[in-house]
Structure 1
Amino acid sequence: MLRGNVVPDVPRWAVLAAYAVPLATLPSGLWRLALVAGVPVASEPVHTGWGVLYVLTLTAVSEALALLTLGLVQPWGEVVPRWIPLIGGRPVRPLAAVVPALLGAAALFVLSILVGVTQSHSLASGDLTNSAAQEALLVACYLPLLAWAPLLTVSAIAYYRRRTTAPPLPERVLEHH
């Protein structure tokens, strides 16, 4: 099913975990886009220029970072694509992918705690929404984000284990590249 452009020796569970990351970030991004578009998903829509820019940037950056997780299971995460200047075609050192992924997962874990505590207070006080339907939609769209840190962590660990215990790159990836 998800084996399209995946490195052949990646375990199925690792592929599912990596592909789940961008899917986990998608609902919150769609909620923010609805907020900017004026859909009544919160008590106040975002209309100001800087507010709109912030929401759109947050959505784009979040989804782009989530999509980078796919590099932990696809060939471009093991050999830099040739079209990238200066480093194209070179093998990716495992720690060059794993360290940023694990630091990102740690940051996401801390952020989920901090944002969860502050936003749960705002949610309980009714500052964010006007109705139970808006509140349910907000929770349904943001709850999947809690999976981002653990999914990224297991994806990075699987990548590291596979890359540090597998045969050399030319035998595995370069023939599939």
Structure 2
Amino acid sequence: MTSTFSPVTPSGAARPPGRMRTVWAAAHAPVAGVPRWCRIAAYAVPFTVLPSSVWRVLVAFVDEDTAGKTGSLPSWLPGEVYVVLLSALSELVAFTAVGLIAGWGEVFPRWVPLLRGRRMPTAAAAWPAAFGAVMLTALWTAAYVADTAGVTLRGEPLPPDYPTAAGGWESAVFHVCYAPLLLWGPLLGAVTVAYVRRRRDVG
């Protein structure tokens, strides 16, 4: 009589990774020549955006003063949907830093029509990344300085309902969640410089 039970994995034996995990790891694994510090910096970029994204979503759905409000948004776009989309887009943009250390930053992925499998020009990845690093550094530094001064980026006083205007625990949590964004630009800039140098050395 044939047993219907699956073989038991011996205690302590590591299970083989699933197919999706294997594909994901292979796609985003660092290529040869990437320094350890650069790998850590690239993987850290999405995590600099994550706290503010989580805070934004939680406030949109939990805070009674903001839930359901659209502000200056079109009437057909709920505020909660906008916040989720904005947070998801921010994470996707931040994740592109991983491409500067992975294979899809040097060879066009299979899902890119006409260009799949071809070598990516260094400038095609380096120039947008460098521009983004400069703009992000300038934006979040200016935003932090303005917030510390109690004004908006336009120099206007912060509205009374702004998280840091009233102070207290909301202000503290806000700063803890948004402070990592100050690292987004510098980290991306460092990874971009390493990317250009590596591609130049490889030729």
TM-score, normalised to structure 2, is 0.72
Q: For the Cα contact (< 8 Å) 1:17–1:151, is it kept in 2?
A: yes
Write the distance in 1 (CA, Å) between the matches of 2:102 and 2:186: 19
Write the distance in 2 (CA, Å) between the matches of 1:148 and 1:111: 11
Write the distance in 2 (CA, Å) between the matches of 1:107 and 1:58: 18
Name the residue aligned to 2:162.
128
Write the distance in 2 (CA, Å) between the matches of 1:66 and 1:103: 14
**Greater per-residue helix proportion:** 1
Give the deviation of 1:136 after TM superposition.
1.1
Q: For the Cα contact (< 8 Å) 1:122–1:128, is it kept in 2?
A: no
Name the residue aligned to 2:182.
146
1:13 to 37, 58, 62: 37
Deviations 1:12-64 (A, max 9, x none): 00001101100111000000110111147xxx424224333442232122111
Write the distance in 1 (CA, Å) between the matches of 2:46 and 2:67: 24
Which is further off, 83-92 or 114-123? 114-123
**Residue 31 in 1 paired to residue 52 in 2?**
no
Alignment of 1:67-106 (within 5 A): 67-106=95-134
Which is further off, 51-60 or 154-163? 51-60
2:66 to 26, 35, 45: 45
Name the residue aligned to 1:174.
none
Q: Any gaps of 5 or more consecutive residues in structure 1?
A: 169-177
Across the two proteins, how many residue pairs are aligned to each other? 163
Deviations 1:62-88 (A, max 9, x none): 111100000001111111111221111
Write the distance in 2 (CA, Å) between the matches of 1:112 and 1:86: 37
Name the residue aligned to 2:19.
none
Name the residue aligned to 2:89.
61
Larger Cα-atom Rg: 2
* 2:147 partner amino acid: Q
SS at match of 2:92: helix
Percentage identity across aligned positions? 38
Which is further off, 20-29 or 55-64? 55-64
* 1:112–1:68 distance in 2 versus 1, CA, 3 Å: same
Q: For the Cα contact (< 8 Å) 1:36–1:45, is it kept in 2?
A: yes
Write the distance in 2 (CA, Å) between the matches of 1:47 and 1:111: 28
Name the residue aligned to 2:6.
none
Q: Any gaps of 5 or more consecutive residues in structure 2?
A: 1-24, 74-78
Give the deviation of 1:131 after TM superposition.
5.5
TM-score, normalised to structure 1, is 0.82
Write the distance in 2 (CA, Å) between the matches of 1:73 and 1:127: 41
